[in-house]
Each structure stands twice: as structure tokens, then as C-alpha cells.
Structure 1
Amino acid sequence: MVQDDAAAPVRPGLVGQLVRFVIVGGFSAIVDLSVYFLGLHLGLSTHVARALSFIAGTTTAYALNRRWAFQVTGGARRAGSFALLYGTTFFLILGVNALALLVLPESSWRITLAWAISQGLGTAWNFVMLRLVVFRH
């Protein structure tokens, strides 16, 4: 029996997924950073602002990564795995952000740099775990 390859969606390979993940991550980071600065502007503590910004960025990232970067359909198991991964990442980025705020010297860039460091580490962790665990076939 001949299989009709035109009917099956072609999932991007590692490089394609990585490129799409970076694009989604860039957009999600803009959402994250915008919410972070909005929270700070509204008088929230850095920890509360960072927590809220993470939730906004994560929601954006999940929707776009699932449909575009990794091209998989949903399901309770995937959503549960994603929630577990991002719950772990949540504590990772909050801890790294807090640590960076403690060790970075006072400057006008300190808060932004702490955010960037925590975001970078969280992003690397997420790509590996999304590819190997959450969105694997």
C-alpha cells in the first residue's frame, strides 16, 4: 500500500524547530518584558512583576510553540507536561532573577540585565525539555 505523504503534515527538523522556537521566544520575550516593566511602573515589587510577566510570556510561548514551532496537536498529556515544565522553569527564572539582582552592581541596567539573564537560562532549558519531553513524537 502506498502512503500519501501529502496528507501528513511535515514536522520541521531540529534546525527548523530551533529557528521557529527562537522567533516565538523573541516575541514571547517582548510580551514578558513589557508586562514586567508595566508591573514595575504600576508599583509592583520586582518579584511579583516578574511572576506576572512570566505567566504572560509563557502563555504566549505555549500557544505559538505548540502550533507553529513544534507543530503538534494538543492533548491533556502535553498540556500537563508543559505545565510541569513551565512550573519548574517559573521557579528557576525567579531564583536566577533574584540572585542576579543581589549580585549585579547598582546601575540603570541592573533590573533589565537580571531579567535578561533569567530569561536566557529559562529559554535554553525550555527548548531542550520541549523538544525532548513535551513535544516529542
Structure 2
Amino acid sequence: MRTDFPPACLDAVARRRRAPTGHGADARLLRAPRGSGLLATRLLAHAEVRLARNDTTAARSADRAAALFGAARMPLYEASARITAGTALAANGRVGEALRQLDQAAEHSAACGATALLGLADSERNRITPQGR
């Protein structure tokens, strides 16, 4: 497992642990119980399947996965989950919430130097943002 994350990435994780905000911030999930990374991975996989099936519960599963990944200090996985949540929210017409999820994904990706994830978040944001906005 990679442990040499840039300081900015670790600082972003520390800030998130001190001040949980955003869609779905749930104090019960922020305690990072043992195995929360595994549960989050399972939730994210379910969210991606639900998104492919146009199931409206995809966003909720992805958001829960993002909260668990954040609590487990797994910022790159959290960013991935937030991209999935943003895509699902946009598919349900909840563009404002989708953009907030994608902004958080971009923030984590940039802080960790994950240019591919940052590009994916930006691409999804551009896809769902109405022209002229």
C-alpha cells in the first residue's frame, strides 16, 4: 500500500477529519470502524452497478462509500466515489449536488497529485454543466 502521499494530500485528509461537511456527512461513518475500507469498496461497486442500471439509489451508495473512504483516510478512493456520486446525481437531475461532489473529488485528486482522477472529475463536470454557465 502506498504511504508516501504528498503533504498537501495528507493535509486535505486531516482537514476533512476535523470538519466533515458536504452532502451526506454522517458522524457515525466518520469514526472509521475496522473494515470500513472494505465496506466502502463494496458500496462503491454497488453504486457503479446501480448507476449502469439507472437506479436512483446509486448516488446514496456512492456518497456513503465516499464518507467511509474519507473516514478511513483513503482520499483517492474517496475522490473516485465522489465522481460516481456526482455522475449519479446528475443523471437524476440534481446538478447542483453533482457539481459539489465533483468539486470535492477534484480537490482531493489535485491535493494528491492524481491527475487522471482530476481529469475525470473535470470531464464529468464539463459534461453536466449547462453551456454558458
**TM-score when normalising by structure 1:** 0.29
Greater helix share, 1 or 2? 1
What TM-score results when the alignment is normalised by the length of structure 2? 0.29
* Bigger Rg, which one: 1
